[in-house]
Chains A and B, each alone.
Chain A
């Protein structure tokens, strides 16, 4: 004797199975994407990243590296807090790279160059940070761990290059690659988010129309940056401090 099929039960089971797939599948897909690159492998000191800036090529009036950096690192997403004056905002907004013009006091010769975090081998910002939030990666990058930065700004006092910025305002929109938050310190990362995804260039280098910026692995004698450095005399800014900076300049 056949009994009538309980269709409600079937519908429920089918629905439940569908819902389970819909819930679990995206996670599994994301998991496979997330593990596609070995992000859990520690960075080694095999490479030391740095750059060479040829100041003879840095052209007057050009600001392309600055614009590219601001776009890449989400600095262009920030806006002046309501009530702040333009002058105040200009002094308080973060800047990772800026152009500086110098005149030699004796000869009057003018040099133009971009300044940013110099990624010292022995960074004073790392020395002074009470919590270790300012840290140096094995590949030479001087970075800030924004989970442990308490916003004391001692690193900014210690940096000889005026390279660091403090986030003075609430952040409304931020880039997913370069998150930031009010009350923490930050500075140039040499586009670490690109490097960690297999990238080999920085935004400022890509943007420079004059090829004044060469980025790469200083430990690899065959890298473009090492070859460029071998060809001509280079200097580090404030070499009296003996910090062995990763960013070098020609003709200063």
Chain B
């Protein structure tokens, strides 16, 4: 394997500024949508007293878990010592930060009182996993910044392994914490399951890898840098394995629920009768988010075509948003099981009369805020690779493949 050189992203000025302008416009629209929601109050959203977390949470949680997943590539290089991944590590760490910032921003701007962020940063209830997550998220950003420094500063290279291990353990804790936001909710049928934490970890692996692959291919293609089949094969195979792992966790989660009678109504809701949630589960989470991408990625011919890999990665991202929609909103739409063995026949507060789901339809400002978070993450990433040396000059097989016959 040859020595790796890094260089700033060198696409022509007009293209670069044009790209930033488009992203900035999306962020500005999201900003206005947020101002509208904050000024009017949450009544302009589709959220209500039953579906209290809406589309912004779907995007925010997706970005947060994808952030920790994006760090995987760096971890494989510096924790598990795989040389091939070393040139890929800087971008991986950068995306871990930018995706997290995007996700957190969406989360914070959807608060009822975003101006009280200072309260959240200074007043803690340590029994709350939310409070822990504030530390886990902020700590993650700090650690990854140090990690990046040890990678990019030659004199600090000797610390990369140690900091990398710390960052790896921290990212596992972070996703455990995010999954536990749901896992710890004893009140709701769809949550209250320890499997939520490991399932979120494995989801983070796949969603982070999918976004990483997309950004890597985009930045390399536009800059005409060589991206060899060897690197691509490794990354797309990893993505395929991660998606297969989500498939396994999804299966175990539902099979466990199906075994216990108390969860049958919830399972029937998600798998059979839940309308939009059932469709989103089967079509989004399972078919387009897992089966089709796995089919593409493991197909001997398609799996090596760049267009097909791009589609597979996009589908994994789409499937991830679908999965979180089912978990976050589907989980709330299913009525609380307050009176087992009883059917609620009247209620003035949407307690699920005759098992009826609680209503929610996403409003435009919510969706715009979510998309704004993605745009911000991408914009900061593109600015980062433009001004600092994150991207290797070449990932051609003769450079990146340690076994390449030259």
Chain A's interface size range is 35 or more
A153–B42 alpha-carbon span in the complex (Å): 12
Q: Given A92-B49, A158-B185, A182-B41, are A148 and B116 neighbors across the interface (CB < 8 Å)?
A: yes
Which residues of chain A from 91 to 130 have a CB within 8 Å of any chain B CB?
Answer: 91-95, 98-106, 110-112, 115, 124, 126-130
Chain B, residues 79-90, CB within 8 Å of chain A (1/0): the string is 000000000000
Q: Which among A12-20, A40-48, A162-170, A226-234 touches the partner chain?
A: A162-170
Contact between chains at A157 and B332 (CB < 8 Å) = yes
Give the residue name and chain of the A residue nearest to B112 (CB): A151
Does A74 touch B at the CB level, under 8 Å? Answer: no
- Contacting residue for B112 out of A81, A127, A167, CB 8 A: A167
Known contacts A127-B128, A131-B119, A152-B112; A102/B187 CB under 8 A: no
Interface residues of B in 91-149 (CB under 8 A from A): 111-114, 116-117, 119-120, 123-125, 127-131, 134
Which of A98, A166, A252 is within 8 Å of B339, CB to CB?
A252
B349 touches A162 (CB 8 A): yes
B345 with A149: CB separation less than 8 A: no
Task: Say yes or no: is B282 at the interface (Cβ < 8 Å to chain A).
Answer: no
Most B-side CB within 10 Å, residue of A84, A91, A104, A128? A91
Q: Is the CB of B130 within 8 A of A128?
A: yes
B191 to chain A: closest residue by CB: A157
User: Is B12 interfacial (CB 8 A cutoff)?
Assistant: no
Question: A150 to B48, alpha carbons, bound, how many Å?
Answer: 17
Q: Closest A residue to B125 by CB, please name it.
A: A132
Could you pull out 29 A-B pairs where Cβ atoms are within 8 angstroms?
A: A88-B43, A91-B359, A92-B47, A92-B48, A100-B351, A101-B345, A103-B343, A115-B351, A124-B187, A127-B127, A128-B130, A129-B130, A131-B120, A150-B111, A150-B114, A150-B116, A150-B119, A151-B112, A151-B114, A154-B130, A158-B185, A158-B187, A160-B186, A160-B187, A164-B49, A168-B41, A182-B41, A185-B112, A252-B339
Show the binding face of A for B, using Cβ within 8 Å.
Answer: 66, 81, 84, 88-89, 91-95, 98-106, 110-112, 115, 124, 126-132, 148-154, 156-162, 164-170, 182-185, 237-238, 241, 252
Additional 7 contacts, C-beta under 8 A, given A161-B338, A166-B52: A102-B343, A103-B345, A112-B346, A128-B185, A130-B124, A183-B111, A241-B186
